[in-house]
Amino acid sequence: MKMRFLAVCTALAAATALTGCSLVGGSAEGSEKVTLWLMKGSASEDFIANFTADFEKGHPGIDLEVKIQEWTGIGDKVNAVLAGKGKESADVIEVGNTQVAQYVETGGLSELTLEGLREWGSKDWLKGLSDPGSVNGAQYGVPWYAANRVVIYNKDLFANAGVKATPKNRQEWISATQKLDKGDQQGIYLAGQNWYVLAGFIWDEGGELAVETSGQWVGALDDDKALAGMDFYKQLQALGDGPKDADEETPPQADVFARGQVAQIIGPPGQAAQIEAANPALKGKLGFFPIPGKTSEKAGAVFTGGSDLIIPERTGNRARAVDLITALVSEKWQTELARSMSYVPNKTTLAHVVEGNDGAANMAPGAAQGRATPKSARWAEIEAKNPIKPYMTAVLGGQDPKEAAKVASDTISQVLSSDR
């Protein structure tokens, strides 16, 4: 999971570079310690302190130890805990929502199907968080929070172009962007290899990145529905000067937007702060709207980033671990986390709690349509090789979409279904 909106614990960065840093903890004599691993940047120090105090008050005799972990190298650390081979242990661990499948394959995860159905309101979970946490019909990851992309736009450029309302569907979006794309001004800055955005367009068309059949994963970019998603991407990308052979970080799209001649970008709302820092003149002039869908009835599908909570089988206190997750996903603490960190809560029924936060409120409609990458334990290898990026560049450069998609799909099939 790559999208993070706020950095916390900066004063502890050096301490957490190699090992987990304990923000709260240290068992009192005679008390029982419960250990929670959270990733750096997921929650503020105030949230952690307040949650810890509240949890310990509601569970006398429990000392909650919260350890902050770095994303770099976290896979090896989690696997060591799951295998019982390391010196460290944890009772509950935060993991990226798309990481759950690989930990299930490694072994050592506790199945949480019963609790999820009974206690944690699973019927209202965001699918982009809950689906990656479920493998072969069993729930291993409990949704904690979500974040996704929205359209960030320049209000002045919209007004100057006579675009009075933000678009609600693709047709309106294309029409508005055409009006905005004039002279030295770009209607939208969309890099040619922003494959997370492409994934949303593919899902909107009913296509997939890859599908599983009889235990084998097969790339699906050459399916007609997936190709329709790429066709829309090409239409939109042409209404600006984004590079065809680079992603949204090369150069950083927030920096390009900050120059003041780009009407729209697609990114996490947190990029607005980066834009304003680069160009203070834009402060108060930025707005957000959900990525439009094919119709006005619902927002477009988006890749849902975020985190799930897991319990290692080797925990010494599964009952307390369940209590801890129950507290973290409660309405009280979901509300506090969402409001303090500008996240989307884990349930569709809690979307209203971020209504006062423009960025988060505009994430919520997309989150309700959110998806995650295929639940293959080897998907990380796809992202490392990333055959989707050159496929996109090829199509934007004029190559036959079907042929380019077939090459990328074959690579996806080979990686996901070959023997290790």
Q: Nearest 5 degrees, angle CA 72-CA 66-CA 139?
A: 75
Which segments of the chain belong to CATH 3.40.190.10?
A: 10-148+305-368, 150-302+378-417
Name the one residue in this structure whose structure tokens are 């009407």.
263
Regarding the domain delimited by 150-302+378-417, which CATH topology (the fold level of the hierarchy) does it fall under?
D-Maltodextrin-Binding Protein; domain 2 (3.40.190)
pLDDT digits (tens, 9 = 90+) for 394-416: 999 999 999 999 999 999 999 99
SS3 annotation, 152-182: EEEHHHHHHCCCCCCCCEHHHHHHHHHHHCE
pLDDT digits (tens, 9 = 90+) for 157-195: 999 999 999 999 999 999 999 999 999 999 999 999 999
Calculate mean pLDDT across residues 40-69.
97
* Neighbour tally for 230: CB within 10 Å: 23
Record the pTM: 0.88
SS3 annotation, the chain: CCCCCCCCCHHHHHHHCCCCEEEECCCCCCCEEEEEEEECCCCCHHHHHHHHHHHHHHCCCEEEEEEEECCCCHHHHHHHHHHCCCCCCCCEEEEEHHHHHHHHHHCCECCCHHHHHHCCCHHHECHHHHCCCEECCEECCEEEEEECCEEEEEHHHHHHCCCCCCCCEHHHHHHHHHHHCECCEECCCCCCCCHHHHHHHHHHCCCCCEEEECCEEEECCCCHHHHHHHHHHHHHHCCCCCCCCCCCECCEHHHHHHCCCECEEEECCCHHHHHHHHCHHHCCCEEEECCCECCCCCCCCCECEEEEEECECCCCCHHHHHHHHHHHCCHHHHHHHHHHHCCEECEHHHHHHHCCCHHHHHHHHHHHCCECCCCCCCHHHHHHHCCHHHHHHHHHCCCCHHHHHHHHHHHHHHHHHCCC
> What sign does the CA torsion over 98, 104, 109, 113 have?
positive
Give the span between the Cα atoms of 129 and 114, in whole angstroms.
17
Sequence-separated (6 or more) residues with CB below 8 Å from residue 20: 37, 67, 68, 69, 77, 88
For residue 8, what pLDDT band results from cuts at 50, 70 and 90? very low
Give the span between the Cα atoms of 394 and 234, in whole angstroms.
11
pLDDT digits (tens, 9 = 90+) for 252-263: 999 999 999 999
- For 267, phi then psi, to 5°, come to -170, 175
Percent of the chain, pLDDT > 90? Answer: 88
Calculate mean pLDDT across residues 93-114.
95
Q: Are 383 and 247 in contact (CB under 8 A)?
A: no
Strand partners, 106: none
Give the span between the Cα atoms of 51 and 64, in whole angstroms.
10
Is residue 17's pLDDT more than 50? no
260-to-62, 112, 285 alpha-carbon distances in Å: 53, 49, 10
Regarding the domain delimited by 10-148+305-368, which CATH topology (the fold level of the hierarchy) does it fall under?
D-Maltodextrin-Binding Protein; domain 2 (3.40.190)
For residue 30, what pLDDT band results from cuts at 50, 70 and 90? low
* Neighbour tally for 2: CB within 10 Å: 11
pLDDT digits (tens, 9 = 90+) for 200-234: 999 999 999 999 988 899 999 999 999 999 999 99
Of 305, 343, 375, 366, nearest to 1 (Cα)? 305
Q: Are 67 and 20 in contact (CB under 8 A)?
A: yes
- According to the model, what pLDDT value does residue 23 have? 53
Strand partners, 389: none
